[in-house]
Structure 1
């Protein structure tokens, strides 16, 4: 997805220019739903995201954990104080969903509390969210790294979500047939090294 490409494309290309200048990379759109299939069919060599091994011949390794925050424009009425759960639920929300699922992890947490939020806008790219949030009264639960170095970051107010949740592990996934492949092992090692610098 665009979030993973943004995180990895530049540092990977910089390292490849030094260590393996003839290696070509291709970022392809995938979701947590179709990534296992793409790996099974050898359409891709490696998947990165909030994924877990759903098939027996797939391997995973956690690269880092992601924290979610509530983001809104700095002039948003809710930006002036600690965000309370009832205010969060009443606000108009932006949902970023790569799979098209109209419900995210926030909706599942709220449902357990007997609550439901209003999703006013749904998009399928993390890159769109900061600009939308900076120019509307929408709020969003979004991973911190996707807004951290965005050109709209200075226009946004970030605060803790008003409920407990587990941080999201971002993993790489590959098929067993690549487990002992030297080039693949090198790439996985490079990704682990890059993530240690996050």
Structure 2
């Protein structure tokens, strides 16, 4: 600028006319920036597809389908590129806080007029039929292996998809077997003409969790969103 902004005045300093003029000129853009920051209330949330239909209505949140690769989830959380993750992953990282949301159950689905499967699916039928598998990997395992404490023999997989919704749509028009959470199956099976079956295997519950960076633990906006997410979750026993 080539002009002094402050001059000595007694034991202190005082702004010059140039400083006052500059302050007036930058006051408006600074206020605009501050206003944008204060009103940017939207949180970025990675959410597993199984729970998106239950949470999508929540205001002030931009939901992004959780990536198939869990390393990308953790990288985004630690770098604070996302504010919250809703998924089945668990973490012992000190910088992250983990809250258990609820337990769901894995089920399989077939079209209502399936030629071989009626209301129940037997163990033999489960391994005789062709399956649609999800490309999702957690702890470097597919969903079924992730939920089992012991090795399970491979299914006959005809199609792999990255979307549960696509899987259910395919099952509604083919003889292939799909898999889902019970809560999502309860919501979508009637609309798609699908029958819901218990998976004839000894599987653990699907535990859904919220993970977020420790810096957001006491953030009022973040707390409000976490509470709203909890209230929106399905009750699989109702």
1:68 equivalent in alignment to 2:115: no
2:206 maps to what in 1?
Answer: 168
**Distance apart, 1:186 and its partner CA:** 1.7
For structure 1, the 5+ residue unaligned runs are 14-23
Given that residues 95 and 123 in structure 1 are in contact (C-alpha distance below 8 angstroms), is that contact kept between their aligned partners in structure 2? Answer: yes
Q: Which has the higher strand share?
A: 2
Max Rg structure: 2
Name the structure 2 match of 1:19: none
- Alignment match, 1:42: 80
Deviation sequence 1:76-119 (CA, Å, 0-9, x none)? 13422532212211210001233599962324649725x22111
Partner of 2:49: 2
Partner in structure 2 of residue 143 of structure 1: 181
Within-5 A mapping of 1:150-161: 150=188, 153=191, 155-161=193-199
> Is residue 29 from structure 1 mapped to residue 29 from structure 2 by the alignment?
no
Q: Which sits farther off after the overlay, 88-97 or 28-37?
A: 28-37
Displaced runs of 4 or more, over 6 A: none
Of 151, 154, 160 in structure 2, the residue corresponding to residue 112 of structure 1 is 151
Aligned equivalents of 2:234 and 2:133: distance in 1?
Answer: 29
Q: Please state whether the residue corresponding to 2:171 is helix, strand or coil.
A: helix
TM-score by length of 2: 0.69
Secondary structure of 1:52 counterpart:
coil
Cα distance change, pair 120–96 in 1 and its aligned pair in 2 (3 A) = same
Aligned partners of 2:84, 2:231: CA distance in 1, in Å? Answer: 16
| Structure with more contact order per residue of length (Cα contacts < 8 Å, sep ≥ 6) | 1
TM superposition shift of 1:33: 3.5
CA distance in 1, matches of 2:130, 2:74: 33
Give the number of equivalent residue pairs: 186
3-state SS of the aligned residue for 1:26? strand
Cα displacement (A) at 1:194: 2.5
After TM superposition, the score normalised by the length of structure 1 is 0.82
**Cα pair 2:66 2:73 within 8 Å, conserved:** yes
For the residues of structure 1 that align with 2:55 and 2:127, how far apart are their CA atoms?
A: 33
